[in-house]
Amino acid sequence: MKVRVDVMLKQGVLDPQGEAVRHALGALGFDGVSGVRQGKVIELDLADGTSEDSVRDMCEKLLANTVIESYSITTL
């Protein structure tokens, strides 16, 4: 079983990496980019039958800092 976890900073949390990317895109001539939010994607190969609750526990304990990040889980 394969699962993808998308982790993003919550709205309202400053994203200095995203701002750096936005600035760099402007410097490269890509006008019209008014905002960039940068996150991470984690793909997990799990044993068949692994519950979504177990994946959620992985996110809560290690994969995401739930104080400042949100996450979503997608089974592939």
- Asked if 7 and 39 touch (Cβ cutoff 8 Å), the reply is yes
In sequence order, the β-bridge partners of residue 41 are: 6
pLDDT of residue 56: 98
pLDDT of residue 17: 96
Mean pLDDT by runs of 10 across the 76 residues of the chain is: 97 96 96 95 97 97 98 97
Q: What is the CATH number of domain 2-75?
A: 3.30.1280.10
- Asked if 1 and 51 touch (Cβ cutoff 8 Å), the reply is no
- Asked if 3 and 43 touch (Cβ cutoff 8 Å), the reply is yes
Which amino acid does the sequence have at 13? V
pLDDT of residue 5: 98
The strand pair at 2-9 and 69-75 is best described as antiparallel
